[in-house]
Structure 1
């Protein structure tokens, strides 16, 4: 029997890693499943392979349409909770948040090849089959993608470790106590901050660079908005994060990129309510 729920969970990382949005990923999967159901009277030798190919190409087309609309605001991917109680087996295939941001530098085809090769370990022959291309073209697209993504800080990114929660709690304590010296110790000199408030929440449109500038902004935001909110440590896209709640409503999520020297080199703040709703559902 065809199990919709199992296939939806299995296909989700393929679509999400290309689209960077949970709702868009679910739409792409639903489109692929609807097409598959309409073909049930035809013989499909490998339904799993058929659905992966369909979801990948549907996601590529959807992403291409989205890229035509350029927003003046900074846009970040929708974060996905990866430390949920249901321990979804397929969440391991979700790429890190830092990488997801970098993937927006690529063309959609480059992104698809990179995701299939690096996240799902597809061969170039298999990628060519999925994209109706050739292995040679797949290799070229991967090479271009890797060239564009070369960033020293990305190579040094670490995911959650047994001490990460304590580390982030130290960061929170330093903010509450306005311990500037401690914050300076936690940050790299070239730390970057970025925020996405969508169309509803006003945030800075530009990146904030440098240790001192970031500390000033963090303390200002904390004093204005977060000092009366409840903070909770979570994990999104396999990276440490803090969720801030205002009267039990999730108001923002800060995602931390930490290097191997245990220094924070990037803080990505998602304030857009539309990009927080799926995390909020998972947390209750």
Structure 2
């Protein structure tokens, strides 16, 4: 098979693995691109090409993660993954939406070691059998089961792996957009849990809270304060963030921030708000 045909056939699938492993669109794209550039094996001799490529990309991601953990320690403020943003009215490819991991769950995966993350992503996001995971990671099936079990205990959450788009999520996004325009956040604040947490990531490059903001009263004060300072001047638009309704702010023709939410177990109120402001994590977002 020609390299160009190989790339078109397998790039979306390999990117979806790499993004879930790395939490970075830029790094995932680079990783997949480099894989094909360096692909010297005669692919006609490979019995299961998809499995072979999945093995290569997963192990490359593991190597990258092991080195990235040290660099992450020097990051300014909280680290959040790069969001995948689509226009709200844009139809998404069914295969990709079926495999999409919610933004909140992507953050949760950062609590796992690289090998735990690999096993968990392959098992939960792509429904790989343990024997296939064992082949990819060159470990025993028993060992992979133990790693998965350990990862589940670490995460210890009822948070759904895949995003759920409900009318309540739509209402939350609509409420936030209305509040950002009027400056009146009371209706939106009513949708927060008492112990809500707001996490913002500026990467030390733009203003952002250096620590998570905890509880309803403090989050309310923060949102009202930044609004009064003109933080939401510009277009505030509904978008799809990792398969779920979220918000994109555009200022002077450039993405300024992406905002998305994690709901409680009843999917009624907001328990976490994520604000991504680091410009390096927004540069891939298409402006409507």
Structure-2-length-normalised TM-score: 0.89
Does residue 59 (structure 1) correspond to residue 64 (structure 2)? The answer is no
C-alpha contact (below 8 Å) 2:172/2:188 kept by paired residues: no
C-alpha contact (below 8 Å) 2:78/2:211 kept by paired residues: yes
C-alpha contact (below 8 Å) 1:60/1:108 kept by paired residues: yes
Does residue 47 (structure 1) correspond to residue 49 (structure 2)? The answer is yes
Partner of 1:262: 268
Which runs of structure 2 are paired with 1:29-108 in the superposition (5 Å)? Answer: 29-36=32-39, 38-40=40-42, 43-69=45-71, 70-71=73-74, 72-82=76-86, 85=90, 87-92=92-97, 93-108=99-114
Greater mean deviation of Cα atoms: 23-32 or 13-22: 23-32
- What SS does the aligned partner of 1:74 have? coil
C-alpha contact (below 8 Å) 2:176/2:185 kept by paired residues: no
- What SS does the aligned partner of 2:247 have? strand
Report the Cα distance in structure 2 between the residues aligned to 1:224 and 1:246, rounded to whole angstroms: 14
Structure 1 residues 179 and 107: alpha-carbon distance in aligned structure 2, compared to 1, 3 A threshold:
same
Structure 1 residues 57 and 166: alpha-carbon distance in aligned structure 2, compared to 1, 3 A threshold:
same
- C-alpha deviations, 1:146-182, integer Å up to 9, x for none? 1111135x35996212453233212332454444542
- C-alpha deviations, 1:211-250, integer Å up to 9, x for none? 0100110111222233421100111112221111112211
1:14 Cα shift? 0.5
1:19 Cα shift? 0.4
C-alpha contact (below 8 Å) 1:158/1:257 kept by paired residues: no
Does residue 142 (structure 1) correspond to residue 142 (structure 2)? The answer is no
Structure 1 residues 224 and 144: alpha-carbon distance in aligned structure 2, compared to 1, 3 A threshold:
same
Report the Cα distance in structure 1 between the residues aligned to 2:141 and 2:231, rounded to whole angstroms: 51
- What SS does the aligned partner of 2:165 have? coil
CA RMSD of aligned residues (A): 2.2
- C-alpha deviations, 1:96-142, integer Å up to 9, x for none? 10011111111000000000010001111110000000111111111
Partner of 2:18: 15
1:6 Cα shift? 2.6
C-alpha contact (below 8 Å) 1:232/1:243 kept by paired residues: yes
Work out the number of aligned pairs and report it. Answer: 280
Structure 2, gaps ≥5 residues long: none
1:198 Cα shift? 1.5
Report the Cα distance in structure 2 between the residues aligned to 1:184 and 1:163, rounded to whole angstroms: 14
